[in-house]
Chain A
Amino acid sequence: MANKIHQTLVFLAILIVIATFVTLWFWGGDYYLLPLSEKFYHENHKILKSSGLIGHGLGIIGSVILTFGVVIYIVRKRVKRFQKVGKLKYWLEFHIFLATLGPLLILFHTAFRFGGIVSISFWSMVAVVASGVIGRYIYQLIPHNIDGNELSQSEISKLDFNLRITLQEKYKISTEIINKLEEATSNTNREIKISGLVLYIIRDTLHNRKQLKYINTFLHNANLSTEDKKEVLRLSKTKLSLSRKIVLLDTTRRLFGYWHVAHFPFAVIMFVIMIVHIVVAFTFGYKWIF
């Protein structure tokens, strides 16, 4: 049930982001698409411009959302007092949601002015978001427990072993097939370099497809109920994914470490620029509705 609520909220979050984009684009798309030199003469320029009622509002709301999304995640992660509050995975997802919605609103606040020096603030924000997306993917490559905390090597091995047992004993999957699923782990003794990570993932994905096809063929002839077949397939996918994660564990951990180094400074730059931007705007009298 909790899973369903989670899924619904995730869906809702995605829906909000998409709806926000569609609504704002539908309303001001023709303005935003105009070349910079033409924007001023658009009929909605007064409200959609960065200092306009809507444009400025979007900037302020977006900044608040973004700041809030970043701050609460940092607080949850860094402040001991809050480390027990909610699952970190959900906080991360909420962080991603707010750190997507906020920049989206800021994107519309910029009125799609990407040129010139001022765009650096935007691109720094884009860099933070993009690094966030990449970080989210790297994060996925590292096995986590249900709370979202990283698993140790032994915990992963244990998890993998449990999967093998389940498949063997519960669904009577032959050793031969299970070995196929573990092929990647058993065949890989070498360390995967960060530079070769993408290539490995592509190869592994293609390989895993083959394996799944093989399992599918097996399941087709196996004396199992449809539900069991589905479960076996799901477990097989999990096993394949886990196998990949085991292989890439060291590499991804190292990469994630690097990522933190990049994501954080980008975020700092973004916030510094944001603060300067806000100060300058206020200094020159751009106070929105205030």
Chain B
Amino acid sequence: MKNLFVKILFLVFISQFVYGQISPGDLSNAHKDLEGMSNCTKCHALGEKVENNKCLDCHKEIKATLIAASGFHGSADVKNKECIECHSDHFGRNFKMIKFDKDKFNHSKTKFELTGKHKVIKCEECHTSKFIKVEKLKEKSNTFLGLETNCESCHADFHQGTLSSKICSDCHNTEKWRPAPKFSHDKSKFKLLGSHKKVDCEKCHIKGMKKGKEFQKFTGLKFKQCLDCHKDIHKGKFGTNCEECHSVESFKNVKNIKSFDHSKTNFKLVGRHQNVTCNKCHTKGITLKLKYQRCSDCHSDFHKGEFKKKNKTDDCSVCHNENGFTPSLFTIANHEKAEFKLTGSHFAVPCNACHFVDEKWKFKFQAINCELCHTNIHKTSLNYTNGIIKNCESCHTTEKWNEIKFEHNKTKFALIGRHNNVLCSKCHFKDEKLKHQFVTVSTNCESCHTDKHAGQFIPKYQNDCSTCHSPESWKIENFDHSKTRFVLDGAHQKVKCAQCHKPIEKEGNKLIQYKFEDISCKSCHT
């Protein structure tokens, strides 16, 4: 009995060892559910080691690739090989049944040769569950199965189904998506010509968002007219057919320039502008936008800023028009609005008489006075300090030089009597013609008048003509003979002056004798 117990104990003891002989080691993690003696034949065929069929009964995805001769397992390298040759087991839980040098793996054996960017990226970037469509394979971590070779199986359709072709490789290669190297615009309805070839795709194919994703429009674009893409800077003035004037080479190369109707622009060519060659104004190219609102945008300021007011210059058009710079459009009426209003004879004066100074046109003057244009012929002959004469206008008007408005009565010599009727020149133009004398002219009568009496009253009556004469007349009306040495009385009061004062000739001068040395009777009476 005791012996039997020992034997049973022994059998129990060695039974563990026996199981050990059946399983040569732990299965890998992937196969851990197959541990146990009852599962041996799920992989092992009795007498036949491990058969492919056993493997493929479970690994249907591999079986499918073998049948379809797709992927790496469908390649000649794998064909006719036993699964166990590459994928063994019973090497412990941590054993990796799939092991290969990812860097050296010849991907072309999978019938998907890695080219371009595909060569650079990591395996896991493609071999990830999100690109696997088969649900069962999705669940498997680190699987290299389940990918399709078409681009869209991994890459999102950036075009969101808007393109007619669904084959990415028609336009793209694996080097880079942008720009699509295999795409030829010539195959499209809009061939790229001229400068269109140099334009960035995004210029026409605008990037934006569609359905919450980045999107670039390549279809459904209008392209029949230039204006479908280009902005009409002419705002419709020249119609919609840009090609009448422009070519695809460049907007700057304008054709049919001679027939160009400038009047359709904002700047109609008028007057002499019509005869100017285009490049005179369009110096930097015919299509370059020009300033044209002011003449000075093209023309240099002939007047060199003379008309600048508070840093602003009146436009030339105030005085000129397209018909020429001369004659000026500046009218007398305009001049009336100027600081110096035209009056009197100035109306008749040509512009250049005043404004053409020293061979130059001059319109801006420091101070405006008569002497700016007129020569002061009086020079020092006038006294400007006495408050009577301030400037030319104290005496002259713009009507005539000769018309003197001078108030002579303010002077020391008020014009009385016949003096009012005497020409100025009678007194002030002496000796030489146009030699004016004003302050130098004496107020004495003899400074103007000739002493007809040949000095008979000198020295007693010198310069005192008024003793006998008045400014009204030379006639003696008020002479009081009684104040003389010879008082008139009696019959003398009735005697005419000439009866006593008779003309004589003295020293060659004919004169009437008023002064007598001898006043005795006999001097008159015989």
Compute the total of residue contacts between A and B using a CB distance below 8 Å: 82
State A56–B25 Cα separation when bound (angstroms).
Answer: 16
Min CB distance, B418 to chain A, in Å? 151
Contact indicator per residue, chain A 100-117, by CB within 8 Å of chain B (1) or not (0): 000000000000010111
* Complex contacts, A120 vs chain B, CB 8 Å: 16-17, 20
A37–B94 touching, CB < 8 Å = yes
Picked from A39, A115, A276, A283, the residue with its CB within 8 Å of the CB of B46 is A283
User: If A40-B95, A284-B49 touch, does A50 touch B14 (CB 8 Å cutoff)?
Assistant: no
The answer to whether B209 has its CB under 8 Å from any CB of chain A is no
Picked from A118, A273, A285, the residue with its CB within 8 Å of the CB of B23 is A118
State A276–B15 Cα separation when bound (angstroms).
Answer: 10
* Interface of B (DSSP majority class): loop
The answer to whether A71 has its CB under 8 Å from any CB of chain B is no
Picked from B21, B44, B47, B88, the residue with its CB within 8 Å of the CB of A118 is B21
Min CB distance, A254 to chain B, in Å? 21
State A116–B91 Cα separation when bound (angstroms).
Answer: 10
The answer to whether B48 has its CB under 8 Å from any CB of chain A is yes
Min CB distance, A147 to chain B, in Å? 34
User: If A37-B95, A285-B46 touch, does A116 touch B88 (CB 8 Å cutoff)?
Assistant: no
B95–A36 touching, CB < 8 Å = yes
- Which chain A residue lies CB-closest to B97? A40
The B-contacting residues of A in range 244-278, CB under 8 angstroms, are 265, 269, 272-273, 276-277
* Complex contacts, B16 vs chain A, CB 8 Å: 117, 120
* Complex contacts, B92 vs chain A, CB 8 Å: 36-37, 115-116
Min CB distance, B191 to chain A, in Å? 58
Picked from B20, B26, B46, B48, the residue with its CB within 8 Å of the CB of A121 is B20
State A41–B44 Cα separation when bound (angstroms).
Answer: 21
State A142–B103 Cα separation when bound (angstroms).
Answer: 66
* Complex contacts, A280 vs chain B, CB 8 Å: 21-22
Picked from A37, A272, A273, A283, the residue with its CB within 8 Å of the CB of B47 is A283
B24–A50 touching, CB < 8 Å = yes
A272–B95 touching, CB < 8 Å = no
Min CB distance, B431 to chain A, in Å? 142
Picked from B17, B45, B49, B91, the residue with its CB within 8 Å of the CB of A39 is B91
A285–B18 touching, CB < 8 Å = no
B17–A121 touching, CB < 8 Å = yes
* Complex contacts, B23 vs chain A, CB 8 Å: 116-118
A119–B20 touching, CB < 8 Å = yes
A269–B48 touching, CB < 8 Å = no
* Interface of A (DSSP majority class): helix
B14–A269 touching, CB < 8 Å = yes
Contact indicator per residue, chain B 157-190, by CB within 8 Å of chain A (1) or not (0): 0000000000000000000000000000000000
Min CB distance, B234 to chain A, in Å? 76
- Which chain B residue lies CB-closest to A122? B20
The A-contacting residues of B in range 40-58, CB under 8 angstroms, are 40, 44-49
State A273–B88 Cα separation when bound (angstroms).
Answer: 24
The B-contacting residues of A in range 14-66, CB under 8 angstroms, are 36-37, 39-41, 50-51
State A164–B374 Cα separation when bound (angstroms).
Answer: 174
The A-contacting residues of B in range 76-120, CB under 8 angstroms, are 88, 91-92, 94-96, 99
Min CB distance, A269 to chain B, in Å? 5
State A41–B95 Cα separation when bound (angstroms).
Answer: 11
Picked from B13, B22, B26, B88, the residue with its CB within 8 Å of the CB of A40 is B88
The answer to whether B19 has its CB under 8 Å from any CB of chain A is yes
The answer to whether A91 has its CB under 8 Å from any CB of chain B is no
User: If A40-B88, A285-B46 touch, does A118 touch B24 (CB 8 Å cutoff)?
Assistant: yes
* Complex contacts, B20 vs chain A, CB 8 Å: 116-121, 273
Considering residues B16, B49, B94, which has the most beta carbons from chain A within 10 angstroms of its beta carbon? B49
The answer to whether A216 has its CB under 8 Å from any CB of chain B is no
State A24–B413 Cα separation when bound (angstroms).
Answer: 159
B24–A272 touching, CB < 8 Å = no
State A285–B40 Cα separation when bound (angstroms).
Answer: 13
The answer to whether A286 has its CB under 8 Å from any CB of chain B is yes
* Complex contacts, A37 vs chain B, CB 8 Å: 91-92, 94-96
The answer to whether A124 has its CB under 8 Å from any CB of chain B is yes
A118–B14 touching, CB < 8 Å = no
Min CB distance, B45 to chain A, in Å? 7
- Which chain A residue lies CB-closest to B85? A46
* Complex contacts, B21 vs chain A, CB 8 Å: 118, 121, 273, 276-277, 280
User: If A36-B91, A37-B94 touch, does A116 touch B26 (CB 8 Å cutoff)?
Assistant: yes
User: Could you list which residues of chain A lie within 8 angstroms of chain B, going by C-beta atoms?
Assistant: 36-37, 39-41, 50-51, 113, 115-121, 124, 265, 269, 272-273, 276-277, 280, 282-286
Q: List 11 A-B contacts (CB under 8 A).
A: A36-B92, A36-B95, A40-B91, A116-B26, A117-B23, A117-B25, A120-B17, A269-B13, A273-B21, A280-B22, A284-B48
Q: 4 closest A-B pairs (Cβ-Cβ)? A: A117-B20, A277-B21, A285-B49, A37-B95
Starting from the known contacts A265-B10, A269-B14, A284-B44, 13 additional A-B residue pairs (CB-CB under 8 Å) come to A37-B94, A40-B95, A113-B25, A115-B92, A117-B17, A117-B25, A118-B21, A118-B23, A118-B25, A119-B20, A120-B20, A272-B18, A284-B45
